[in-house]
Structure 1
Amino acid sequence: MFSSLFIFYFLFSFVNCRIHNIDIIDDNRQQILLSTFGFLLGGTMNINVTDFTYDKAGVGKDSMFGFSIAKAKNSGIAESLQSHTSRSCFFYRTEQANEIPHVYFMMDHTSEKPKINVIRHSGDFEYLDIQYEIPSNRIQSNINETLTSNVTITSRQKLEKNETLITEIPINRVGGTSHRFRFQFQVIVKRKNEEGLYNLYFHNCLNKTDAHLNQRSLYINLTTLLIEKNLDNYLSAGEIPLPVLYFTWAVIYFLSGFYWIFVLKTSKHPVYKIHYLMLFLVLTKALSLIFHGINHHYIASNGRHEEAWAILFYITHVLRGLLLIVAILLVGTGFTFIKHVLSERERKLFIIAIPLQILAVVAQIFLEEKEESDPVYVTWKQICFIVDLLCCGAIIFPIVWSIRHLEQSAKTDGKVLSSLSKLKIFRQFYVMIVFYIYLTRIVVYIVKLTVPFRFEWLEVIFFELTTFIFFVFTAYKFQPAINNPYLALSQDSDDDADGEMDIPLTQNPVFEQITKVNQKPRKVSTKLSTKDPSDLITPDEDDEDDYHHIRVSTSHV
């Protein structure tokens, strides 16, 4: 337990959530996504670059650096902007700027007085309010504490006096060097048409005219404090309702868990260990949602999470994912219900699937907490997708194996009706698993890409609703019940064992009517019936071979 706490603290304790401390070292990417955030009216974005340096040897006169902000209506357009990257400098491309609102912050680092040129594109950003304050030599901690208030008060006074939009932002050289700078500015959403999903990029443009230098990698170092806020809430526009949603779903799962406890305690039918595993899964899911809601509450209030609640969420989230895949695999293989021992093939599947599920959940947490500007962010995103896909395949295989087993049993053991009833339930469970995977992976992703940015919380509702329906379906189909053909399988197995012993002892016609019966011990009296003459041992007059037939009459006491 303590080792798990240490691992989670080591991996995620440095993350500051909506207050981003971005530290990029020796990076040569031409385009770096720093943040994606949904702004409403009154929202602010504070960018405080405390240190920016570049490799002086690789810089030509046409090399350009800077930031850009692109506004999108939903996540689908935002991801399209990220995927349509070009080898040419982003600042030289104007086709996207004509279609999507953009603001360019182009650094003029070669002039005697370095500055940032602000270029607004599209009607939505024509009057976008951009304010700045020239950094002083104050201690960094003081800058972090007073950045928002200082920039807001000073710059608003300046804007009210000049009544013009800022087109230039001054830059300070650090230590008198020609390739080390610092600056800060703020973007304020003051108009309704300026609301949207803002994507903040940093651009490292190579030399455009010098072919020799253009082939070289240009490395930069960037240390930035980025603060994003919507009025009194640090959550993105589509995430503001999330704390309430998580608490609501936690209550629903807790009530469902208490009802399941009532079902198990009052059941007069056999209750298996997997029924209690389902109970632990539901309660762990509820705890995970509570901790997730508390974590988002602190992010909304302070811009950063409380480490204790975050670690509790991580632990319960991993445990919930582990219990879910174990429960699905056990139900799919028929363990406890159908059989009490797993086959070698099923054991290997467990050995592979469980670590994959843990890796998938850890990768998901890593993606949620890691900065988008980190070079390994894309790698972990790909790992999460591939591992999750493998886990989805792993939970389908045992169900397919069980269906094939029941199909063969229906043809060979003679109990067609019983096998077909069980086969029907397995097929329903298989269809439900496929729908669950399809809805929670594909449809949820489509919802995220298509809904407007302020309604991104619908993705969470759709995911949790699908998961809850899947839990209810599974509990209903495999609840303790005497008329459940799936749970009645163990009784049928005992009958099969008795039936296998009920075979003729010999093929000799003399003993044709005598069989070995393997039943519970009971008193049996065997006698010759004297009431019926045919029961007596007499020669058969019609039997030419003089064989004698014996009729045995048994009565149970």
Structure 2
Amino acid sequence: MATRGVCCSGGFLLLLLLTGSEARIHKLTLNNETRSSVDLNNFGFYANGTLDVKLVSLRISEQLTNYTAYPLGFTLSRSRVNGVLSYTAEETDVCPLTLPKSTNSEPLLLFLIDIKTLSVNVKVMGDQDNLLIAKPKVQPPQGVRKEREAVPEAPAAPAVGGGEPPKEEDKVTQEVQKEKQEPADGEGNRFQLDKVKQMTLALDKVNGSYNFSFHIVFSLLAEGLYTLKFHYCRNKGPVIKLPYYFSVEVTEQNPGGYLSAAEIPLSRLYIGMAGVFFTAAMVWVYTLMKHRYSVFKIHWLMAALAFTKSISLVFHSINYHFINTEGHPIEGWAVMYYITHLLKGALLFITLALIGTGWAFVKYILSDKEKKIFMIVIPLQVLANVAYIIIESTEEGSIEYYLWKEILFLVDLICCGAILFPVVWSIRHLQEASSTDGKAAMNLEKLKLFRHYYVMIVCYIYFTRIIAILLKVTMPFQWQWCYEFLVEVSTLIFFVLTGYKFRPASNNPYLQLPQDEEDVEMDEVVTESGALEGISKVKKTCNGRDRPKESTL
């Protein structure tokens, strides 16, 4: 009942969290923000991909008087691999907006907001031929101010015989000058960044709030993984932080959808792996039905885990499909994915802990210490899945995103370590008792057969948590989906090996273990039914006479 209540409350929490989620169409609003740098997003752009950035509102403290000494604005930088930027000033006291001209060929765009002159100075660095579309700052032509200040004269009377009409070429010149001075609304001027290395855009001010926007079309030369950040250099370093209000809308697209380059194959990957896991689950159920007299309850728990994993992958694939087509997930499908993801995570760690303690294979009653492990792991798994859901439905620039990301990493690490503790306790206890008790030595031999399983758990944890992540940060941006592929394949291999080692069969060495003593001793399973698990008959021979059979529990 408690678990059901947790799941229900978790499902209600999902609905609340997904209410404001926008996925690849980002809308971020920060109130009383004091950070000097805000990570807006990371996105992999192919050729002809587009980036729309609209600074809806920016309000800064009135205490800031010297705006030129503390620049603020955006940086758009490309990184060759995930998490490695093309410049290294982020960890120093140097403001990234004041970087000198470097010899680095990586594309870098700086958008410096100048509040005094109501303009945005754009600096282009590195090799790039992207197309920037924005509204430039219009400079009044020479002589306009003087003409406005002069006293208007009465219109001259037409000459006798009628004045000459204005020439056609004069009309064309006036139209061209007007188009240059007043670009079309919603589009702006086009700047080819391989030709123009510096430009000035218009910054609008409405009721003390500053706003501007720009649109970038990425070329074949400059495609890659880009990081968009907002910087407020006044708050950088050990100084008194001044709060500011910040609201921005970011829309990123690749040809054919809203997914990043590394996420485009994920929908097909997840639906394919869902089919593979479902097939493996059906084979496992067939095995259980074939050997139904040797089946324990934990075998059906393993089947439930495989089916839950398959269903979770189906909803994950549907979720990515709608993100790619709509730019945001459909709430109903997203909630279904998160619920099945939560159940899958809980079932996985419960099953691993039960098998690791030898439940139903070696012993049938858990110790108090092992019960405490389940009391710790299950709530932590709920917390880990809630953290994952919040991360998925929260904008990357918010403070909550980084807080829950750290919580997820820490909780996942604790859960992975917790499922190994029962194994360590059991082996240590039997090692101490084996020196004085011969039966404990036999039990120790039985537990040694589980070492292969323990090694499998450790390898699975290290590969999915460490090695696969290292591969992700070293792969090119368009191949980072291979990280998810490696994780899913390693999970499938782990499930298959676990099912093979603990399959319900009469000749399974994990279920029957012959042991030799001074007298020949043989354990035979009296019943193969899971309902009577733990009952065995012992037949001993001593001096050529058979002892009477006795049942042990």
- TM-score interval, smaller chain: 0.7 to 0.9
Say if 1:45 and 1:104 are closer, same or farther in 2 by CA, change over 3 A: same
Distance 1:200 1:82, change over 3 A: farther
Aligned match of 1:282 in 302, 306, 314?
Answer: 306
Structure-2 change in CA distance of 1:165 and 1:519 (3 Å): closer
Find 2:120's aligned residue among 91, 116, 119.
116
1:519 and 2:550 matched? yes
**Partner residue of 1:186?**
215
Amino acid at match of 1:298: F
Report the counterpart of residue 200 of structure 2 in structure 1: 168
Matches within 5 A, 1:383-532: 383-404=407-428, 407=431, 414=438, 419=443, 422-488=446-512, 491=524, 517=548, 519=550
Secondary structure of residue in 2 paired with 1:22: strand
The one of 64, 82, 85 equivalent to 2:91 is 85
Report the TM-score, using the length of structure 2 for normalisation.
Answer: 0.80
Displacement after TM superposition at 1:90 (Å): 1.7
2:81 alignment partner, one of 65, 74, 84 = 74
**What is the CA-CA distance between 1:305 and the residue it aligns to?**
0.5
- Tell me the secondary structure at the aligned position of residue 469 of structure 2: helix
Measure, in 1, the Cα distance between the counterparts of 2:462 and 2:251: 36
Cα deviation digits, residues 134-164 of structure 1 (max 9, x gap): 89xxxxxxxxxxxxxx9998346x559xx96
The SS at the match of 2:230 is strand
* Unpaired segments ≥5 residues, structure 2: 1-6, 138-182, 514-522, 526-533
Q: Distance in 2 between matches of 1:305 and 1:15?
A: 8
Residues 117 and 516 (structure 1 numbering): CA distance in 2 closer, same or farther, change over 3 Å? Answer: same
Name which of structure 1's ranges 240-249 and 484-493 shifts more when overlaid on structure 2. 484-493
The answer on whether the counterparts of 1:18 and 1:299 sit within 8 Å (CA) in structure 2 is: yes
Alpha-carbon distance in 2 for matches of 1:11, 1:345: 36
Q: 1:387 corresponds to which letter in structure 2?
A: V
1:201-212 alignment runs, 5 A limit: 201-206=229-234
1:322–1:354 CA contact under 8 A, matched in 2: yes
1:199 and 2:227 equivalent? Answer: yes
State the Cα distance separating 1:84 from its structure 2 match: 3.9
Check 1:345–1:82 CA distance in 2 against 1; reply closer, same or farther (3 A cut): farther
Residue-by-residue CA offset, 1:418-476 (whole Å, 9 max, x unaligned): 65663342110111011001100001110110000000110011000111110011000
Larger CA deviation: 232-241 vs 215-224:
215-224
- CA distance in structure 2 between the partners assigned to 1:91 and 1:20 by the alignment: 23
Check 1:221–1:454 CA distance in 2 against 1; reply closer, same or farther (3 A cut): same
| Structure 1: distance between partners of 2:106 and 2:131 | 18
Q: Alpha carbons of 1:513 and 1:235: their partners in 2 closer, same or farther (altered >3 Å)?
A: closer
Residue 132 of structure 1 pairs with residue 126 of structure 2: no
Partner AA of 2:73 in structure 1: G
CA distance 1:392–1:35, change in 2 (3 Å): same
Native 8 Å contact 2:51 2:215 kept in 1: yes
The offset of 1:31, in angstroms, is 0.9
**Whole-angstrom CA distance in 2 between matches of 1:379 and 1:488:** 49
Contact 2:235 2:241 in 1 (8 A): no
Instruction: Give the corresponding residue for 1:13.
Output: 19
Q: Aligned residue for 2:243?
A: 219
Q: 1:421, 1:485 within 8 Å by CA — same for their partners in 2?
A: no
The structural deviation recorded for 1:406 is: 5.6
Q: Does 1:342 align with 2:361?
A: no
Higher helix share: 1
Deviation for aligned residue 1:293: 0.3
Checking the alignment, whether the CA contact within 8 Å between 2:72 and 2:97 is kept in structure 1 is no
- Residue 101 of structure 1: how far off its partner (Å): 2.6
Q: Distance in 2 between matches of 1:281 and 1:47?
A: 43
TM-score with structure 1 setting the length:
0.79
Letter in 2 for 1:425: L
SS in 2 for 1:334: coil
Aligned residue type for 1:388: D
Residue 29 of structure 1 corresponds to which residue in structure 2? 35
Higher RCO structure (Cα 8 Å, ≥6 apart)? 2
Which amino acid counterpart does residue 53 of structure 2 have in structure 1?
I
* Percent identity over paired residues: 36
The residue matched to 1:401 in structure 2 has which SS? helix
SS at match of 1:110: coil
Contact 1:134–1:184 (CA<8 Å) still a contact in 2? no
1:390, distance to aligned residue in structure 2 (A): 0.7
* Separation (CA, whole Å) in 1 of partners of 2:235 and 2:423: 58
Q: CA distance change for structure 1 residues 515 and 454 in 2, over 3 Å: closer, same or farther?
A: closer
CA distance in 2 between counterparts of 1:97 and 1:91 reads 16
Q: Name the CA shift for 1:467/1:105 in 2 (closer, same or farther; >3 Å).
A: same
Aligned pair in 2 of structure 1 residues 514, 40: CA closer, same or farther (>3 Å)? closer
Matched, 1:154 2:187: yes
Residues in 2 aligned to 1:47 and 1:366: alpha-carbon distance in whole angstroms: 24
Shift of 1:30: 1.0
| 2:26 maps to amino acid | H
Extract unaligned runs of 5+ from structure 1: 136-149, 504-511, 521-557
How many pairs were matched up? 480
CA gap of 1:97–1:110, structure 2 versus 1, over 3 A, is farther
Tell which structure's C-alpha radius of gyration is larger: 1
Q: Give, in angstroms, the shift of residue 351 of structure 1.
A: 0.5
SS of residue in 1 equivalent to 2:318: helix
- Residue equivalent to 1:104: 110
Q: C-alpha offsets along residues 305-330 of structure 1, whole Å, 9 cap, x if unaligned?
A: 00000000000001000000000000
- Report the Cα distance in structure 2 between the residues aligned to 1:420 and 1:481, rounded to whole angstroms: 22
Q: How do residues 304-343 of structure 1 correspond to structure 2 at under 5 angstroms? A: 304-343=328-367
Alpha-carbon distance in 2 for matches of 1:90, 1:159: 23
**C-alpha distance in structure 1 between counterparts of 2:374 and 2:537, whole Å:** 29
C-alpha distance in 2, partners of 1:358/1:465? 24
CA RMSD of aligned residues (A): 3.2
